[in-house]
Amino acid sequence: MNAAETIISRRSFGQTMRADPWWIQPLLVFLGLSIFIVYSTWAAFQGAHYFVGNYISPFYSPEIFGNSPHSWFGAKPAWWPSWLVFSPALLVLWAPGGFRLTCYYYRGAYYKAFWADPPACTVGEPRKTYLGERSFPLIMQNAHRYFLYLAFIFLVILTIDVWKALWFVDATNGKSSFGIGIGTIVLAINVVLLGGYTFGCHSLRHLAGGFLDQFSKSRNCYRAYACVSCFNRRHMLWAWLSLFWVGFADLYVRFCSMGVWHDWRLI
């Protein structure tokens, strides 16, 4: 049999045969994630205007220590080092932040957008070696499954926050009564979108589907797998919608707390 020798040459950075505007998607991802990172970092360090009445910003929930009535264990503890900046958000944001950072979708998106590895499919990248996710530091991405467990806890806590957002205290007599404000709806949509994002997680799909290299024979497992797959098909959409909305929910509570916006009561 005759064999032909083929020399595969490595593309240089940005070189491609693609004729479509491939750079638009990584550019949008870069802009979208940059805006969110800058805003959420700024908001997390504020330590103020994160609650108003029965609403609390999802960036600050659960409030483990803090000055609001939502705090679980009271104000900032006396043992907190004076040189260390304190904000209730900094105690909790690492968990949802880690969940998104290690998400399979976001990895693919920010590897392309932030360090061009590669900039897009079949487009030349700026480096010649590939260590992948089997060596430090990217091997840390394998912690995603554990962040998923934490994400479920956060979902429960944020759902309780929505329940609390249904009860408004009358300033004149101190009694609380049922009601729905725009803020209640904003916080409820946040939970729905975060739920859609979390329930479409690839790791949850693996958990629901069975064991290592083996699909479960249980009918219930199959149903759970199908359900997660349904969310998973639109995982990118859930990821962006929930990212945008969690930022907006913080902004809504912040502006209401500052008196910039007024929270309209529907009921």
Applying CB under 6 A, which of residues 54, 203, 242, 257 lies at the interface with ligand FES?
203
**Which of 9-17, 81-89, 168-176, 197-205 is the region at the interface with ligand FES (rule: CB under 6 A)?**
197-205
Q: Which helix (H) or strand (E) holds 255?
A: helix 235-258
- As a whole number of angstroms, the distance between CA 109 and CA 118 comes to 10
The SS3 call for residue 167 is: strand
Q: Is-contact 52 257, C-beta < 8 A?
A: yes
- DSSP assignment letter at 265: B
- DSSP assignment letter at 119: S
According to the binding rule CB under 6 A, does residue 261 interact with ligand FES?
A: no
Separation in Å, CA 215 to CA 43, 156, 200, 225: 44, 29, 18, 10
Q: How far is the CB of 239 from ligand FES (least distance, A)?
A: 6
Q: How far is the CB of 148 from ligand FES (least distance, A)?
A: 6
According to the binding rule CB under 6 A, does residue 105 interact with ligand FES?
A: yes
Q: Is-contact 87 46, C-beta < 8 A?
A: yes
Q: Is-contact 71 65, C-beta < 8 A?
A: yes
According to the binding rule CB under 6 A, does residue 199 interact with ligand FES?
A: no
Show contacts with ligand FES in window 133-152 (CB under 6 A): 144, 148
**Which of 16-24, 46-54, 101-109, 175-183 is the region at the interface with ligand FES (rule: CB under 6 A)?**
101-109
Show contacts with ligand FES in window 40-79 (CB under 6 A): none
Applying CB under 6 A, which of residues 49, 164, 202, 206 lies at the interface with ligand FES?
202
Structure tokens at 144: 């995603």
Cβ contacts of 220 within 8 Å, gap of 6 or more: none
According to the binding rule CB under 6 A, does residue 103 interact with ligand FES?
A: yes
Residue with smaller CB distance to ligand FES, 89 or 243: 243
According to the binding rule CB under 6 A, does residue 242 interact with ligand FES?
A: no
According to the binding rule CB under 6 A, does residue 206 interact with ligand FES?
A: no
User: What does the binding site for ligand FES look like in residue numbers (CB under 6 A)?
Assistant: 103-105, 144, 148, 201-203, 235
